[in-house]
Amino acid sequence: MDSVFENNILLTQTERLMMSGRPKQPKYARNKNILVIGGSGSGKTRFFVKPNLMQMHSSFVVTDP
């Protein structure tokens, strides 16, 4: 977890995934892929995708088929 809140992917209220390329200790390196699974109307976009997009410092093109 990065000490700067905006440099993390939000997973839960208390857990975050660091987005920086290399952590200080290599044994804590993780890939940055996230899979979001849920039924129609379960809040995948509203509760996971949108909050993470709003805190990033970049432009994104997102499709939600």
Q: Is 36 inside any structural domain?
A: yes
Q: Is 62 inside any structural domain?
A: no
- pLDDT value of residue 21: 67
**Domain limits for position 9:** 5-55
Q: Is 21 inside any structural domain?
A: yes
Q: Is 43 inside any structural domain?
A: yes
Q: Could you list the pLDDT tens digit for every one of the 65 residues in the chain? A: 667 777 777 878 887 777 776 777 777 777 777 788 899 999 888 888 888 888 777 787 877 76
Concatenated DSSP letters of the chain: --SSGGGEEE-SSS-EEE-SSS-SSGGG-----------TTSSHIIIIIHHHHHH-SS-------
Q: Is 60 inside any structural domain?
A: no
Q: Is 30 inside any structural domain?
A: yes
- pLDDT value of residue 1: 65
Tally of domains in the chain? 1
